[in-house]
Amino acid sequence: AQSVTQLGSHVSVSEGALVLLRCNYSSSVPPYLFWYVQYPNQGLQLLLKYTSAATLVKGINGFEAEFKKSETSFHLTKPSAHMSDAAEYFCAVSDQSNYQLIWGAGTKLIIKP
């Protein structure tokens, strides 16, 4: 069965510092991988997705994620955090046999001024 683990329910970084949000997955087949972001009092929106075209995926708002098959990871990074990045981030995986997503528990990103 597929699963997704996000390390750290809360991550705190200073404004301007590197953002690293970790996501590890388990899947018996090549997965599709997603990062979604949820700003306060809003629904989720797609940040980026991996669909086997390229291992480094660029998303909106300067975020990117790298698919590492050997590590079964899909960590989200941003070189320099902004206050507006404060939100909750969700990693999700689906396999190619069905299109239901399996979700991580989410990581709240806190930006310190």
Residues lying near another protein in the complex (CB under 8 A) are found at 4, 9, 32, 34, 36, 41-46, 49, 51, 90, 94-96, 99-101, 103-106
With residue 64 as reference, give the H or E element that holds it.
Answer: strand 64-68
List the beta bridge partners of residue 6: 23
In this complex, which beta carbon is closest to another protein, that of residue 17 or of residue 72? Answer: 72
- Smallest distance from the beta carbon of 5 to another protein, in angstroms? 11
Burial class (CB in 10 A: 0-12, 13-18, 19+), 25: buried
CB of 80 to another protein, least distance (A): 26
